[in-house]
Structure 1
Amino acid sequence: MQSTSVAKRWQVPFFAIWTGQAFSMIGSRLVQFALVWWLTRETGSGTILATATLVAVLPSIVLGPFAGALVDRWNRRRVMMVADGFVAVVSAGLVYLFWSGSLAVWHIYVAMLARSLGEAFHWPAMQASTSLMVPEKHLSRVAGINQTMQGALNIVGPPLGAIAISVLPLHSVMAIDVGTAAMAILPLLFIAIPQPRRATGEGAGGRPATVWQDFSAGLRYAWGWPGLVAVLVMCMIINFVVNPGFALMPLLITAHFGGGALELGWLESAWGVGMLAGGLLLSVWGGFKRRVYTSLSAMVVGGIGTAVVGLAPSDGFPLALGGMFVAGAMNPLINGPLFAILQSTVAPDMQGRIFTLVLSLASAMMPLSLAIAGPVADVVGVQPWYVFGGSVFALAGIGSFFVRPLVNLEQNGHAVAAASRTAAATSAGE
């Protein structure tokens, strides 16, 4: 819902910010690769790697909704600048630790936690700002461009990271991230981002609403939109059944296909190439007129692709590559239209809370699903989990066509936003 006017010449300011953020993401991928490689080389411990992964997702799970409430209160341009600057300071600290040779495992944990904390504020601020800078009719295409960039990073990120750590000392790799963060901040210094008109509300005694009250208002907003509740439940189920397979992909390669690092790289690249192709398709096509149909159809095809990976015989690695490509291609076609719907229908002063709520609930499934999938894979292997996860994925897509609140997500979203504005106006007038 774009209650704030969008500039007619929106492309230059938006893509100037977008380009800076893209460079920052490249730097972050290099740092992520370097840190994981350092942990692998220095410890060789799967437990330490798993702990690092858990530490990296904790802020989005625990603090995400509250971060969203703060993002909706604060100037979003400043939030992104501070978040990028905070990540740069963390990377600068890693520069010193690597340079001095005093780095310890706990330093990596702290750095990953801090970087994830910055991202917990940055991501919703960028998503919420997009709907205020981009005309509604172009949101799906911009989402496709974003997914294309993610796919490209999935393809080139690991090779770039490998090249960087092979030709540069690790403290220099960390310094690259400081530079790319500065590139992200630079356009934000000169480009204004429209701010939504905020319906602040009041707490007890006529005092301004607290962060907790804002958070509660976000929950009530989501609960009052049955279609969004259906999306949240669907995201939780899909993340629970699908994510473990991807986390256990190295075991699929070694135990089932009898491959090594090369085959793992090929399978990961198939996903990245698929994301790139799907993102390009969405950015050119824009999806069906009824955007939710694009997402639900892609869920069915993506689930089939995921199941094919698990059904591939031990000598059928090319078949697994094809299934992974299809699953990757469907990812932008699922996420892009859904985010475009939320950006165009959720009240601008609520978007930070809603986006972080979606991310937090989806991420919350990861620790639980990994705790279950690991022992299951030890008993029956990894490939049954791909078949199970892909089947549930596809069936959820098919079944969603018969869930009216989900099918009518966009239309009902406008009604919920209008009701929210009316309630806020009534409250303000009393």
Structure 2
Amino acid sequence: MHDQSSSPWLGRFLSIWLGQVCSLIGSQLVQFAIIWNLTLRTGSATTLAFASLMAMLPAVLLSPFIGTWVDRMNRQVIMLVADACSMLVTIGLALLFWQGSDAIWQIYVALLLRSVCERFHSTAMGASTVLLVPKTHLARVQGMNQALYGGMNIVAAPLGAWLVATFPLQAVLSIDVITALLAILPLLFVRIPQPQRDANRTVTFWQDMREGFAYVIGWRGLLISLIMVSVINLVITPVGSLLPLLVTKIFGGGASELGWMEAALSIGIILGGVLLSVWGGFKRRIVTALFGLVLLGAFTLFLGIMPNSLIWGAIVMNGLVGLSLPIVNGSFGAMIQGVIAPELQGRVFSLVGSFATAMAPIGLLLAGPIADAFGLRIWYILGGVVTVAMGVLGFGLRSVMTMESHQTQESAPTINEPSLSQAPAEAM
């Protein structure tokens, strides 16, 4: 593994990362503008849920392929191409709005294509982080990552509400083009290290993909954790996609209130990220992650039962939901990131993402019609209860609680093992 301890890693990492922060602002503005446009045009929970589904499908269906490509190709080139393609999609969508030919299905296609680009980029960036950042700083970078990204969301949500109320939608979309260029620029000048590969080892694309599956399946604690997360995402993913309707139909708010709701979430993410960076979590990171899950479920439940007249109470509760997110994601991500070989990062993390979100599309497909028929609150209540239950269950499962020690004490599949042909293709 590359030794970053003696390299000027911070300047190199920040130059790339800050470019991505700029791109994030533009992406958040586009996302806010599109979702608010769909909310005003249709007022349908089914429409919003399907829009979220379009953005999520690549993570579920394409992640195993994308992760394998990332591990086999130059990750810096992948990030450049992904950013450029996402920018072109935004330009095309802006032209459609300008011409007045913006059909709902065209918006769905644009969301799908942008999600594919984002999946390539995030997988390549995540797989490169372990080669850009010393292992001893991974947890702190995870915390700072989420805190600073939350800060960008604070800017994007209220700004997005003001922009969509002031300018045509195509003008808002054009901002994303400028911020994408700011993300591309440092990638042209800063070299991203690539993982060391055995030049004498020749394997096919499918062998590499099966190796990633074998690695995840062989880590029992990780596999059980991903099943638990899939159950959580089945019921809690609709919470985010239905938020605009919760604001408008339950609490009687508008674009401004939705902007503050999103801003509160981001403030919570900042505070949670800073807390994780300073505190570092419990000695065992899995304990920190499960503790965060219980908090996440409890705050989601309280948001679902908040009285209609307490819009500011709902905003505060959404902020507490944000506070718990870095505690869960940062701790879990740093834990598995620190033990996976760099040359396997793309495949393993893409599979983790695919496993974790596998049930989310089903939840979105069910959420829209059921929420339209029986009310929005049911998903917040159900999501909160299930999330708390999964967190408590995790504390009682030995294979989950010993994930870190299990992976370091027992051998796991490695890239040098010649037993790929024996891995069961039907195991997944």
TM-score by length of 2: 0.88
Partner of 2:305: 311
3-state SS of paired residue (1:423): coil
CA shift digits 1:107-141 (9 cap, x unpaired): 32332222111112111111111111111111111
Distance in 1, Cα, partners of 2:372 & 2:280: 42
Task: Report deviation, 1:69.
Answer: 0.6
Contact 2:290 2:391 in 1 (8 A): yes
Q: Give the Cα–Cα distance (whole angstroms) in 1 for the partners of residues 417 and 294 of structure 2.
A: 38
Q: 1:47 and 1:391 mapped to 2: Cα distance? A: 23
The Cα shift of 1:68 comes to: 0.5
**CA RMSD after TM alignment:** 2.8
CA distance in 2, matches of 1:140, 1:8: 19
Relative distance call for 1:323 and 1:105 in structure 2 (3 A) is closer
- Give the match's secondary structure for 2:358: helix
Contact 2:78–2:120 (8 Å) recurs in 1: yes
**3-state SS of the aligned residue for 1:163?**
helix
Displacement of 1:425 in angstroms is 11
In the alignment, which residue of structure 1 is the partner of 2:14? 15
Q: Give the counterpart letter for 1:155 in structure 2.
A: I
The answer for the alignment partner of 1:71 in structure 2 is 70
- 2 CA distance for matches of 1:47 and 1:200? 51
Which residue in the other structure is 2:426 paired with? none
| 2:359 counterpart residue number | 365
Describe how 1:170-185 pairs up with structure 2 within 5 A: 170-185=169-184
Aligned ranges 1:335-354 → 2 under 5 Å: 335-354=329-348
Partner of 2:232: 238
After the TM superposition, which parts of structure 1 deviate over 6 Å for at least 4 consecutive aligned residues?
A: none
Aligned-residue identity in percent: 47
Question: Any idea what SS the aligned residue of 1:390 has?
Answer: helix
Please give the alpha-carbon distance, in whole angstroms, between the structure 2 residues aligned to 1:290 and 1:8: 29
Task: Name the CA shift for 1:245/1:201 in 2 (closer, same or farther; >3 Å).
Answer: farther
Aligned to 1:81: 80
Contact persistence 1:64–1:360 (CA under 8 A) = yes
Q: Distance in 1 between matches of 2:206 and 2:420?
A: 21
Alignment partners' CA distance in 1, 2:48 and 2:270? 28
Following superposition, the deviation at residue 39 of structure 1 comes to 4.0
The C-alpha deviation readout for 1:65-115, integer Å capped at 9, x for no partner, is: 100010010111111111111112222333444445554444323322221
How many residue pairs are counted as aligned between the two chains? 420
Alpha carbons of structure 1 residues 200 and 28: separation in structure 2 relative to 1, 3 Å:
farther
- Mapping of 1:249-260 within 5 angstroms? 249-253=243-247, 256-260=250-254
1:283 aligns with 2:277: yes
In the alignment, which residue of structure 2 is the partner of 1:198? 197
Higher deviation after alignment, 95-104 or 359-368: 95-104
Letter in 1 for 2:382: F
Q: Structure 1's 154 and 74: CA in aligned 2 closer, same or farther, altered over 3 A?
A: same
Q: Contact between 1:224 and 1:416, CA under 8 Å: does it hold in 2?
A: no
In 1: Cα distance, 2:85 partner to 2:409 partner: 38
Counterpart of 1:332? 326
Letter in 1 for 2:339: T
Cα shift at 1:179:
1.9
Match of 2:293 among 289, 299, 302: 299
Q: Which residue of 2 aligns with 1:409?
A: 403
Range with greater deviation from structure 2 (31-40 or 67-76): 31-40
What is the Cα deviation at residue 258 of structure 1?
Answer: 5.0
Counterpart-to-counterpart distance in 2, 1:257 and 1:174: 28
CA distance in structure 2 between the partners assigned to 1:221 and 1:13 by the alignment: 30
Shift of 1:282: 1.6
The Cα of 1:287 is off from its aligned counterpart by: 1.9
Summarize the Cα distance change of 1:254–1:370 in structure 2 as closer, same or farther, 3 Å threshold. same
Contact kept? 1:81, 1:185, Cα under 8 Å: yes
Q: Deviations over 1:209-263 (max 9, x none)?
A: 3222221111111000012102211210111122223333344445554555554
Q: Does 1:216 align with 2:201?
A: no
Distance 2:117 2:328 in 1: 26
Q: Secondary structure at the match of 1:345?
A: coil
TM-score normalized with structure 1 length: 0.88
> Which amino acid is 2:274 matched to?
L
Question: Contact 2:52–2:364 (CA<8 Å) still a contact in 1?
Answer: no
Q: What SS class does the counterpart of residue 8 from structure 2 fall into?
A: coil
Residue 8 (structure 2) pairs with residue 5 (structure 1): no
**8 A contact 1:30–1:157 mirrored in 2:** yes
Instruction: State the alpha-carbon separation in 2 of the partners of residues 47 and 387 from structure 1.
Output: 19
| AA matched with 1:5 | D
Distance 2:266 2:387 in 1: 19
Cα distance change of structure 1 residues 287 and 370 upon mapping to structure 2, 3 Å threshold: same
Q: Per-residue deviation at 1:315?
A: 4.3
Q: Deviations over 1:175-228 (max 9, x none)?
A: 3222211211111112122211235897xxxxx432222211111110000121
Change (3 A) 1:399 1:40: closer
Residue number in structure 2 paired with 1:205: none
* Unpaired stretches in structure 2, ≥5 consecutive residues: 422-428
Measure the CA separation in 2 of the matches of 1:132 and 1:293.
26
Q: Structure 1's 46 and 201: CA in aligned 2 closer, same or farther, altered over 3 A?
A: farther
**CA contact under 8 A between 1:234 and 1:396: conserved in structure 2?**
yes
Once residues 309 and 42 of structure 1 are traced to their aligned partners in structure 2, the CA distance between those partners, rounded to angstroms, is 26
State the shift of 1:29 in Å.
Answer: 1.5
Name which of structure 1's ranges 235-244 and 95-104 shifts more when overlaid on structure 2: 95-104
| Counterpart AA for 1:395 | A
